[in-house]
Amino acid sequence: MSDYKLPVLPPKFDFETKTVLKQLVNSNRALAELKGYTDTIPNKHILINAVAINEAKDSSAIENIITTHDELYKAMSSSINIDGSAKEVVNYRKALWYGYQLVKKHGFITINNIIEIQSVIVENNAGIRKIPGTVLKNESTGEIVYTPPAGESEILKLLDNLEKYINEDDDGLNYLINLAILHYQFECIHPFFDGNGRAGRIINVLYIVLKGLLDSPILYLSSYIIKNKANYYRLLQEVRVENKWEDWIIFILKGIEETAYTTLSLVKKFNNEIENMCEEIKNTLPKIYSKELINLLFYEFYTKIDYIKKGLDVTRKTASNYLSTLEKAGFLVSDKIGKERIYQNKRLYDLVKHFR
Ligand SMILES: Nc1ncnc2c1ncn2[C@@H]1O[C@H](COP(=O)(O)OP(=O)(O)OP(=O)(O)O)[C@@H](O)[C@H]1O
Ligand SMILES: [Mg+2]
């Protein structure tokens, strides 16, 4: 197996089979529905984070990094140093945001962007694999199933080809088929010592944004990959060994359809809850209600006196008064983390926490 040479893209295969095209219609439709709904709603920052938190948590769980939402919450909101599994999840979320900003700013994804994204995920600058010896094993038997390309120049050559493929416009608009192809290719190039899976899953959603299929990185696709991990690994392997492209493409397309609907239902619930809270605050606390305050409250899952002070240009005392009023009325729950008092938007956070 170690003398296997990974071919460059595009693969020699006729992708547009009847089954694929049929599934493609459904997947595109689901994604368009999600896009249509999210385009119309305010408070996108917190919404993206709502999806990103679960995405990051699940995505990190492929590596058996299990962490609780409560640990995560502490890790996200406090400026004190955190360690362990919560940190991995926070890094994943950070990498996703970082990548999203790059795509929005430049309108393309380069090899260097991918290297930067991976370095945020693993928190080191090791970059592309330089030393040979990386092998992929079957998790249960320990048998070596694949030896990815070795040597920096060989890896860069393949990445260069991948970069072109990512940034190319497709006249046929079969971007979702391309996504499946490039995810396979990226994982087979396996350019890094670690974090290839996580980087690859971030690239998936960035690609969707890059091609304008969604405006924000809010597709909760990793959960599907994780739920179907055994199949995912088997299908990757079968593409390479048996050229079974169709099953792989269908697997990814189905995942996109399924997760677009799951994400849509989360987004709807989330947005309704925000609307309810706005109404309630307006009606029960008219003295402190303002549109600006609402925007600050629904920017993140937590807020601090400082943010309110700066955001509304009020004194510390006023800011503190606003937050304690909101807490007394049950909209926020505060907690002291280190020296800071953090006000959690508990209703929204609980919604995300229990969403499955
Ligand atoms: N046989 C295979 N052929 C191609 N790619 C594979 C194969 N087995 C695993 N992979 C890919 O390698 C990834 C794991 O690589 P790596 O450990 O570098 O990434 P990670 O982000 O640390 O882990 P994880 O994906 O488990 O979270 C898997 O997610 C999968 O995409
Ligand atoms: Mg790993």
CATH number at residue 348: 1.10.10.10
Q: Where does a domain end: 233, 267, 301? A: 267
Q: How far is the CA of 100 from the centre of ligand 2 (A)?
A: 22
What ranges make up the beta strands (E) of the chain?
136-137, 144-146, 302-303, 333-337, 340-344
Closest Cα to atom 30 of ligand 1: 197
Instruction: Please name the residue that has the structure tokens 């697997």.
Output: 251
Q: State which residues have CB under 5 angstroms from ligand 2, the bound ion.
A: 194
Query: Domain of 99: which CATH number?
Result: 1.10.3290.10
- State residue 71's pLDDT score: 76
Give pTM, 2 decimals. Answer: 0.94
Any idea which ligand is nearest the CA of 118? 1
Residue 145 in contact with ligand 1 by CB distance below 6 A: yes
Q: Whose CA is nearest to atom 9 of ligand 1?
A: 233
Residue 274 within any structural domain of the chain:
no
Name the CA radius of gyration of the chain, rounded.
22
Asked whether 123 lines ligand 1 (CB < 6 A), one says: no
* DSSP notation for 95-143: HHHHHHHHHHHHSS--HHHHHHHHHHHHTS---B--SS---EE-TTT--
Query: Which of 238, 267, 296 is a domain's end point?
Result: 267
The domain in which residue 341 lies consists of 285-353
Q: Phi/psi at 39 (nearest 5 deg)?
A: -60, -30
Which protein residue's CA is at the shortest distance from atom 11 of ligand 1? Answer: 187
Q: What is the pLDDT of residue 262?
A: 94
Q: Confirm or reject: Cβ of 191 under 6 Å from ligand 1.
A: no
Structural domain contains residue 89: yes
CA 71 – CA 203 distance, rounded (Å)? 26
Ligand nearest to the CA of 134: 1
Return the SS3 of 261: helix
Q: For ligand 1, say whether the CB of 146 is within 6 Å of any of its atoms.
A: yes
**137 and 181 co-located in one domain:** yes
Q: How far is the CA of 194 from the centre of ligand 2 (A)?
A: 5
pLDDT reported for residue 142: 92
For ligand 1, is residue 297 a contact (CB within 6 Å)? no
The amino acid at residue 347 is R
Residue with token string 């970059």: 127
- Inside any domain, residue 2: no
Name 346's Cβ contacts closer than 8 Å, sequence gap at least 6. Answer: 332, 333
Burial class of residue 57 (count of CB atoms within 10 Å of its CB; 0-12, 13-18, 19+): buried
Low-confidence ranges of the chain (pLDDT < 50): 1
Structural domain tally of the chain? 2
DSSP conformational letter for 336: E
197 lines ligand 1 (CB under 6 A): yes
* 194 and 154 within one domain: yes
Q: Which residues contact 159 (CB under 8 A, 6 or more apart)?
A: 111, 114, 128, 189, 191
Instruction: Tell me, yes or no, whether 156 and 293 share the same domain.
Output: no
Note whether 218 and 330 are same-domain residues. no
Q: Which atom of ligand 1 is nearest to the CA of 193?
A: 18
